[in-house]
């Protein structure tokens, strides 16, 4: 069973960013709880653990130590941004990471921006930075900065339940896509796979539950083989040409 660790930033005496009537610690806790509930309610075989589920202060080392002990498969640290400017959404991974972390990061960022598309949120991009939660976590880890508390236009979006739902859906869809989770009573999350076989591009490749699938005929023909199909016995036979 995949284990997802959700880390709501700040908490307790550490309010995080403040502005426009919002406290970062409250916004990210609400987001995190909703992400956990939606993931576990809608997908089979996934467990979501959290650094905190209430307004308490935790040191960064407490968060990563607990996550590492849990054996979690991935970690997502949830934050809001500050610093003025035009606002927007951005996400981070550590400066030196595995391809699995890159895949998680890309899936999360893409799905969140897709969900936010109706709300004209600025895409500030996929970035890397030396942050404790990303550096000290032993599993693939991504930190999301969910709009700017101190930018009035972003703060107004964060007060909109539809935007909050979009942020929740984006995180859930990105996690499910990366882990290949299966919806309850539904089909697995699928993503397109780019496949090159014997120097030729194979069309219609798919990633399902972290496994790449390609059409047998296209793969065989790329290597110069032949495929015969027996519809009665439902048997495909691959042979070398005579």
* Residue 16 falls inside a structural domain: yes
Q: b/e string for 118-137 if b means 16 or more Cβ within 10 A?
A: eeebbebebeeeebebbebb
Considering the domain architecture, whether residues 59 and 168 belong to the same structural domain is answered as yes
Full residue range of the structural domain in which residue 170 is found: 3-179
The pLDDT score that the predictor gives to residue 188 is 61
Considering the domain architecture, whether residues 11 and 114 belong to the same structural domain is answered as yes
User: Residues 171, 35, 177, 120: is their CA dihedral positive or negative?
Assistant: negative
Catalytic site residue from 42, 145, 201, 221: 145
* Residue 210 falls inside a structural domain: yes
Q: What is the DSSP letter of 183?
A: B
Considering the domain architecture, whether residues 129 and 154 belong to the same structural domain is answered as yes
pLDDT (tens digit, 9 = 90+) per residue, 155-195?
A: 999 999 999 999 999 999 999 999 999 998 866 656 677 88
Q: How far apart are the first and last CA of the chain?
A: 47
How many domains, in total, are found in the chain?
2
Considering the domain architecture, whether residues 18 and 101 belong to the same structural domain is answered as yes
pLDDT (tens digit, 9 = 90+) per residue, 184-196?
A: 886 665 667 788 8
pTM score: 0.78
* 59 belongs to the catalytic site: no
Is 25:57 a contact under the CB 8 Å cutoff? no
* Residue 185 falls inside a structural domain: no
């Amino acid at each position: 069973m995949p284990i997802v660790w959700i880390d709501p930033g700040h908490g307790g005496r550490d309010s995080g960013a403040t502005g426009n009537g919002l406290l970062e610690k409250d916004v990210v806790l609400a987001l995190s709880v909703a992400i956990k509930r939606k993931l576990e309610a809608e997908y089979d075989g996934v467990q979501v653990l959290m650094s905190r589920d209430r307004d308490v202060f935790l040191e960064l080392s407490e968060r990563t130590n607990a996550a590492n002990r849990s054996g979690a498969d991935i970690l997502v640290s949830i934050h809001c941004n500050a610093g003025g400017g035009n606002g927007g959404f951005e996400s981070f991974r550590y400066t030196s990471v595995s391809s699995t972390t890159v895949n998680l990061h890309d899936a999360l960022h893409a799905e969140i921006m897709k969900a936010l598309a109706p709300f004209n949120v600025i895409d500030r991009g996929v970035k890397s930075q030396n942050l404790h939660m990303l550096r000290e976590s032993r599993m693939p880890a991504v930190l999301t900065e969910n709009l700017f508390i101190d930018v009035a236009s972003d703060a107004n979006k964060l007060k909109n339940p539809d935007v909050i739902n979009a942020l929740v859906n984006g995180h859930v869809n990105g996690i499910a896509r990366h882990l290949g989770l299966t919806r309850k009573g539904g089909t697995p999350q699928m993503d397109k796979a780019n496949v090159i076989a014997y120097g030729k591009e194979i069309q219609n490749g798919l990633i399902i539950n972290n496994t790449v699938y390609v059409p047998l005929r296209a793969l065989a023909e790329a290597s110069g083989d032949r495929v015969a199909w027996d519809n009665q016995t439902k048997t495909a036979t691959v042979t070398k040409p005579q």
